[in-house]
Amino acid sequence: MTAALPDWATSLTSALDTAMGLELLEASADRVVGRMPVTGNTQPYGLWHGGASCVLAETLASIGASAHGLPDKIAVGVDLNATHHKAVREGWVTGTATPVHRGSRVATYEVVLVDDRDVRICTARVTCQLIPRPTGGGS
């Protein structure tokens, strides 16, 4: 994680994000940038796994939608569409999420994933529902 991130952003990554090596680089309602290493996130043929693209895209979009919902709402993903354009075998995949729509109940982000040469490898669209922030302890 980058030290320049806002305090609210540092709590929004999950154990899955950590296991996959996510590095969150920038976070706001207008733009979220993060990256993951190809190493450790490949399918059996040694290529970047399409599921890793989906994890990266949904994480970045959810962080953007959460920023939009601050301070009273949180974001939960309800739709994910990803088109895989090109294979990657090494290096890093960097994603940038930007808003397509930000409403009071739903936020949609486009996420563009690129390789180290800035070649687009995946385009995703993620829609999140904005729900009231839970209060209390509950189980």
3-state secondary structure of 62: helix
Among 26, 58, 90, 110, the active-site one is 58
Annotated catalytic, 58?
Answer: yes
Q: In this structure, which long-range contacts are made by residues 38-41, counting pairs with CB atoms below 8 Å and at least 24 apart in sequence?
A: 38/88, 38/89, 38/90, 38/91, 38/92, 38/93, 39/90
Residues 57 and 73: beta-carbon distance below 8 Å: no
**Eight-class DSSP state of 30:** S
- Burial of 3: CB neighbours in 10 Å, binned 0-12, 13-18, 19+: exposed
Count of other CB atoms within 10 angstroms of residue 138: 5
So which residues are the catalytic ones?
A: 58
